[in-house]
Amino acid sequence: MTGPSVRDRLDRPLRDLRISVTDRCNFRCTYCMPREIYGADHVFLPRSALLSFDEIARVAGIAVALGVSKIRLTGGEPLMRKELEGLVGLLAGLRTLQGGPVDLAMTTNGALLARKAQALADAGLNRVTVSLDALDDALFRRMSDSDFTPRAVLDGIAAAARAGLGPVKVNMVVRKGMNDHQILPMVRHFRGSGHILRFIEFMDVGQTNGWRMDEVMTGAQIRDLIDAEYPLTSVAPHEPGEVATRWAYADGAGEIGLITSVSQPFCGNCTRMRLSPEGRLFTCLFADHGHDLRALLRTGADDEALRARMGGVWVTRTDRYSELRGQVHRDHKVEMSYIGG
Ligand code: SAM
Ligand code: SF4
Ligand code: SF4
């Protein structure tokens, strides 16, 4: 079915779908899955609770019929889901309302990417974003609370670029007092590499990461720090709704992005819907509840019923949490490791 994209109460079209394929992860980043909470006795979703690849592809197909043109796989760690390339293959065949291919991307911690990149590219994945918070070995291990090394992630980035999954975006969450001294080493490492380094303000997602405003280094502060050593010039956005503001090195060594969700919220352009691993739709990263689709999927609902449910969730959406930060209180915000950023 074709037609214009559905719009929410604030007139924002539905354009993006983020699919969290698992709540599991091989890292325990202290700001996302602190081990005190996600330790040995944490209960993850059982296999039977997760949407199957066919169920995910069905939901994605309906989302595309409602206007989605970009799909991003995330998690937890998406590469913890076995044979993820099977899902990529199902999604790669989707066509947007305009008739073109869907833009298919993935966000990963990169630890397993070196061995998976080629299979994912062969299955139809277009691009990857890789998270990397530090180049320093000890700090990387401390922040990810894992035995993986930054080398493994850098190898994953290189493999992704070789497989044609570029330009690779590299996401660094900056936590003041923790890894801000890694900003310039990261800049020096990635300048001129063709990969796009993006800095993310530390956000108050979920309930468990002990967020404090004084640990946020703002995008403006990050930009000034870099600009003092490597002058930057502003670059116009590629398209409306882009979350990162773009800056180019004046000497032509490429560009960086700043994701200023805390200091300069971008809810007015937020066109993203999120699907949780067990089939709940969320209309905001800071939502306190999702809308169950799995029951519909598993009780034989036809596409029209699913479409009505998903479209209905979007058209009643009013979320703009980041613009209202400090004015609203949420008791049960969804966790980042469940919904995937
Ligand atoms: N495991 C994958 C990864 O780390 O790339 C995908 C899921 S992870 C939840 C998605 C992104 O959210 C990562 O780039 C991560 O650094 C970011 N993230 C997690 N918690 C965050 C927080 N409190 N503030 C800002 N970004 C956060
Ligand atoms: Fe895992 Fe990604 Fe969360 Fe780190 S940020 S714990 S890699 S899901
Ligand atoms: Fe979108 Fe919610 Fe983030 Fe605002 S706070 S940009 S509505 S996900």
Closest Cα to atom 8 of ligand 2: 76
Of 40-54, 213-227, 229-243, minimum mean pLDDT range? 229-243
Check if 77 has its Cβ closer than 6 Å to any atom of ligand 2: yes
Q: Is the CB of 31 inside a 6 Å radius of any atom of ligand 1?
A: yes
Q: Which residue puts its alpha carbon closest to atom 22 of ligand 1?
A: 203
71-130: pLDDT as tens digits:
999 999 999 999 999 999 999 999 999 999 999 999 999 999 999 999 999 999 999 999
Asked if pLDDT for residue 330 goes beyond 70, the answer is no
Q: Which residues contact 37 (CB under 8 A, 6 or more apart)?
A: 208
Ligand 3: lining residues by beta carbon, under 6 Å: 265-267, 270, 284-286, 319-322
Write down the pLDDT at residue 266: 84
> pLDDT tens digit string along 142-168?
999 999 999 999 999 999 999 999 999
Q: Which atom of ligand 2 is nearest to the CA of 336?
A: 3
For the CA of 209, the nearest ligand = 1
Cα 89 to averaged position of ligand 2 atoms, centre (Å): 24
Closest-lying ligand to the alpha carbon of 173? Answer: 1
Regarding pTM above 0.85, the answer is yes
Ligand 1 centre distance from Cα of residue 305 (Å): 33
In one-letter notation, the amino acid at residue 123 is A
Give me the pLDDT at residue 180, please: 98
CA-to-CA distance for 17 and 275, rounded, in angstroms? 7
Is 76 a pocket residue for ligand 2 (Cβ < 6 Å)? yes
Reading the block at residue 87, the tokens are: 């899902």
- Decide if pLDDT at 2 tops 70: no
How confident is the prediction for the chain on average, in pLDDT?
A: 94
CA distance 65 to 61: 6
Band (pLDDT 50/70/90 cuts) for residue 261 is confident
Q: What is the mean pLDDT of residues 264-268?
A: 87
- % the chain with pLDDT above 70: 95
Gap from CA of 170 to ligand 1 centroid (Å): 11
Q: 10 Å Cβ neighbour count for 255? A: 18
Q: Which domains, from first to last, does the chain contain?
A: 3-339 (3.20.20.70)
Q: What per-residue confidence (pLDDT) applies to 205?
A: 74
Which residue, by CA, sits nearest to atom 4 of ligand 2?
A: 29
Our answer on whether the CB atom of 33 is closer than 6 Å to any ligand 2 atom is yes
Q: Which ligand is nearest to the CA of 24?
A: 2
> Could you report the per-residue pLDDT of 296-319, keeping only the tens digit for each?
999 999 999 999 999 999 999 999
The string of pLDDT tens digits covering residues 172-198 is 999 999 999 999 999 999 999 999 999
Crossing angle for the helix pair 150-162 and 137-144, nearest 10 degrees? 90
What distance in angstroms lies between residue 242's CA and the mean position of ligand 1's atoms?
17
- Say what the pLDDT of residue 33 is: 94
Question: Separation of 341 CA from ligand 1 center, angstroms?
Answer: 6
Query: What is the pLDDT, as a whole number, of residue 1?
Result: 45
Please say if the pLDDT value at position 207 is more than 70. Answer: no
Q: What is the mean pLDDT of residues 229-251?
A: 90
Q: State yes or no: pLDDT of 51 exceeds 70.
A: yes
